[in-house]
Structure 1
Amino acid sequence: MYAEVIGDPIAHSKSPAIHRFWLAKLGLEAGYEATRVTDLAAYFAARCRDPGWRGCNVTAPHKLAVIPFLDEASPIGAVNCIVPADGRLTGLNTDVDGIVEAVAGADCSKVVLIGNGGAAKAARRALADAGELVNVTRQNIENAALIAGATLIVNATPLGMAHAGPMPAVLLAALPSAAPDAIVLDMVYEPLDTPLLQAARAAGLRSVDGLAMLIGQARRAFRLFFGAEPPSEHDAELRHLLSEGTSQV
C-alpha cells in the first residue's frame, strides 16, 4: 500500500520525508511518494483503479482544483488530503489540525490573519473561536494599525518564502504594537526562520515556525492513510531531519 503528495511542482515537498520517517519508526510496510500531477482527471482515473492506493495529500496548485473530482469535500473550500473508501473520494483539510496544534494554548482574543487563500481558509476554521479576527489582505496589508493589540498573528501567505515577495516592512515594523505576550505563527518554512519570525522575536514576541503546522497537519493524514498513530515521541528527531533542508509541503 502507498500514499503520496500531488502538486506541480512537487519534487521539493517535505511530505515524503515526514511519512517515511513515521513508517520506518513503526515498521510498517508501506510507501509514500511525491507525484507531479498536471492532469487531475487522468490521475484520479488511474488511482481509483489501484487497490494499493490509500490516498494523497494535495499541495499547490491543486487544493481547490481537486474538488470537482471528489464525492465529498471539506466545507472549508480547500482540500489538502484525499482518502478513498467504498468507491468514493473524500476530501479533507488537515491544515486545520496543523494550525490548532501549532498554536495550542494561544490567547485568541485578537487574531490577525494574513492572507485569504486556501491556507487562510483553514486558519479561519482552526481559529473559529477567536474573540476578534482581523483579516489582512492585499487590499489593506499596508495598514500597520491592524496589528495593534494582537494576541496571535498568523501568516497564511507565501510572503517571506524564498521564491515569493517579502512581508511588507510596515507590518514588520508594527509588531511591537502587538500584545506583549503575543504569538506569531508563520506557515512559511523556506526559509524556516523567516523575516517575520525574526522581527517577532526582536519585538519580544514568541515565534512559531512552519514546521510545527506542517508536522501537525501530517499527523491526521498519516492516520487516515495507514490506520496507525504517528509516534510523537520522535518529534524532536523529525524536526531535526526536516530542518536540515527546507521546502514546501
Structure 2
Amino acid sequence: MSVPHAHVIGDPIAQSKSPLIHGFWLEKLGIAGRYKARHVEAGNLGEYLARYRDDGSWIGCNVTMPHKQTIIGHLDQIDPVARTLGAVNTVVRQENGALIGFNTDADGFLEPLLPILKSQHLFRMARIIGTGGAARAIIAALAHNGFTLVVAGRNPEKAQALIDELAPGGEHHAIPIAYFAEATNFAFDDREGCLDLVINASPLGMRGSPELPFDWSHAPPGSMAYDIVTDPVETPFLNAAREAGHPTINGLSMLVGQAAIAFEKFFGAAPPREHDNELHEILTR
C-alpha cells in the first residue's frame, strides 16, 4: 500500500519550515506518511494539481506565496471561511479526486493571542503591514475580535479595498506603508486596559528581502509586535521592538498553529502539541 503524502507549494519554497513541522508530528505519532516542499511557479500551478489529482496516495498540499488566491480557480470546492477570505492555504484531496480548499491562517494567527483576547479591553487597535493573502486572514480575524484596524500597504487603495471587503462598517484606516518609516510624536492613549498590536503580515524582513521600514515611535506603550515571517525567526522588526521595550510574537506561533489544523485534515490525527517546546527548538536551529 502506498504511503500517504502531502506537500507545501510556493515560489520560493526552500525557506519553508512546514516539512520539519509535519515530519516531527508524523514521527512522534508513528504515522506512516510523508510531507515535502515542492517549488511550483505561478505558471505551473494548474499542471501541478492536474498531476497529483489522480495520485491516490497524494492527500493534499499547503499553499504559500504567491498561490493563495490564484489556486482558488483550480479547485472543485471552497470552504466558506476560505471563500470569505478569498485565499486558500490548504488543499485536501478527496477519494474521488476532488480538491477542497481551506484557510487555516486566521485560526493559526489567533492561537497565541487567545489568552489575551479572553480579557476585556477598553479599546483594541491593530496596525497591520501588508495586503497579501496572509493579511486578508489577519484583517478578518482581528475585525471579528473587535479591533480597530490601520492597514498599511505600498498601495493604500488596495489596503482600503481589503478593509471594505473584509471589515466593513468599522472605523478602520488605510495608509501608505511609508507612513510608518518616519518618527512621530503622536500622543497615544496610554490608559491601562488597551490592547495594541503591530503586525508584519508582509514578506518584508524575510531572508533575501528588504527590511520592513517601521519606526517604533508609531507604537503605543505596551504594544505587542507580531511578525509572521519565519525565515529568519528573529527578524529585525522583532529585534527593534524588543529594544524599544515591546513584547513580541514570532512567526513560528502562527506557522505551527495553522499547520496543526492542516495536519489533522491531511493525516486524520491531532498533532501532539505537548511537544511544542521541542518543536520550536528544532525550528530555530
Calculate the TM-score normalised by the size of structure 2. 0.78
- CA–CA distance in structure 1, aligned partners of residues 11 and 245 of structure 2: 38
- CA–CA distance in structure 1, aligned partners of residues 12 and 238 of structure 2: 26
| TM-superposition CA deviations, 1:121-171 (whole Å, max 9, x none) | 011122122331111122422324699557111110011122111211xx3
Residue correspondences, number: 240
Return the index of the structure with the highest Cα Rg: 2
- What secondary structure, in the 3-state scheme, does the structure 1 residue paired with 2:124 have? coil
Tell me what 1:88 maps to. Answer: 98
**1:115 and 2:125 aligned:** no
**1:215 and 2:256 aligned:** yes
Q: Within 5 A, what are the aligned runs for 1:135-214?
A: 135-138=151-154, 139=156, 140-144=176-180, 148-149=188-189, 151-168=196-213, 171-175=214-218, 177-178=219-220, 180-214=221-255
Tell me what 2:31 maps to. Answer: 28
Which range moved further: 139-148 or 2-11?
Answer: 139-148
Which residue of 86, 93, 104 corresponds with 2:114? 104
Tell me what 2:20 maps to. Answer: 17
Q: Which runs of 5+ in 1 are unaligned?
A: 245-249
- CA–CA distance in structure 1, aligned partners of residues 272 and 37 of structure 2: 22
- CA–CA distance in structure 2, aligned partners of residues 50 and 148 of structure 1: 56
**1:78 and 2:93 aligned:** no
Tell me what 1:241 maps to. Answer: 282
- CA–CA distance in structure 2, aligned partners of residues 190 and 47 of structure 1: 28
Tell me what 1:230 maps to. Answer: 271
Calculate the TM-score normalised by the size of structure 1. 0.89
Q: Which has the higher contact order (CA 8 A, sep 6+)?
A: 1
Q: Conserved in 1, the CA contact under 8 Å of 2:207 and 2:231?
A: yes
Distance 1:218-1:98 versus aligned 2 partners, 3 A rule: same
- CA–CA distance in structure 2, aligned partners of residues 8 and 133 of structure 1: 29
Amino acid at match of 1:49: D
Q: Which has the higher helix share?
A: 2
- What secondary structure, in the 3-state scheme, does the structure 1 residue paired with 2:151 have? strand
% same residue: 45
CA RMSD of aligned residues (A): 2.0
- What secondary structure, in the 3-state scheme, does the structure 2 residue paired with 1:20 have? helix
Tell me what 1:57 maps to. Answer: 62
Amino acid at match of 1:172: D
Q: Which runs of 5+ in 2 are unaligned?
A: 118-122, 157-175, 190-194
Alpha-carbon distance, 1:238 to partner = 0.4
Which residue of 136, 150, 156 corresponds with 1:134? 150
Q: Conserved in 2, the CA contact under 8 Å of 1:4 and 1:35?
A: yes
